[in-house]
Amino acid sequence: MDSDEILLDAEERMQKAATVFTDALKGLRTGRATPGLVDSVRVDYYGSPTPIKQLANVSVPEPQQIVIRPFDANVLGEIAKAIQASDLGLAPNNDGRMIRLNVPPLSTERRKQLTGRVKELAEEARVSIRNIRRDANKHADSAEKEKTMSEDECKSCKDAVQDLTKKYEGQVNSTAEAKEKDVMDE
């Protein structure tokens, strides 16, 4: 691998790690309702786990309520079961045509737990980014040993990988701070 390939691979993987972190934060509940809260819920639909948004229209008519209208009314019970089995902590109200989820305001203790969870997710993302840096540096070292890259190229490649690491760690940190502020300010 030459330095461009190493850098491109590292940047793609770091971007994916940051995206996974951002997607995980969407499922964390703040004090208000968002369709993203039910994105991680999978419904057993004809034997295969299917995301709710593929089975129903998810909307937020009020700040504290999520409405799920399935395309097929026969799947209402399965959606309700999947929501109860999830770790959302929300009770589905099924009226035969749609499911309503009332999102209660968060207690101070629950806010602190969610802030801790945000910190855990952020640390997992940072560790992932650092592992990608380690892999990229290993590729650079092996390319230098195989004489396909000079010592100077190897050093500049490692410096560029470090710059990418700082960039994506900063992105994760700023996203985490914003989410923590969002959770605590509600």
For residue 169, what pLDDT band results from cuts at 50, 70 and 90?
very high
User: 50 to each of 43, 64, 94, how far by Cα in Å?
Assistant: 5, 25, 19
Question: pLDDT tens, 40-80?
Answer: 789 988 889 999 889 999 999 988 889 999 998 889 989 99
* Domain 3-26+107-185: CATH superfamily, name plus number: Ribosome-recycling factor (1.10.132.20)
CB proximity list for 41: less than 8 A, separation 6 or greater: 51, 52, 82, 83, 86, 88
**What's the pLDDT score for residue 28?**
74
Query: pTM above 0.85?
Result: no
Question: pLDDT tens, 83-110?
Answer: 888 877 788 998 889 999 988 887 888 7
Q: Which CATH class is domain 35-102?
A: alpha beta
Same fold, 3-26+107-185 and 35-102: no
**What's the pLDDT score for residue 31?**
67
Q: Which two tokens stand for residue 124?
A: 């997992």
For the chain, which residues make up each domain, given as ranges? 3-26+107-185, 35-102
Tell me the β-bridge partners of 43: 50
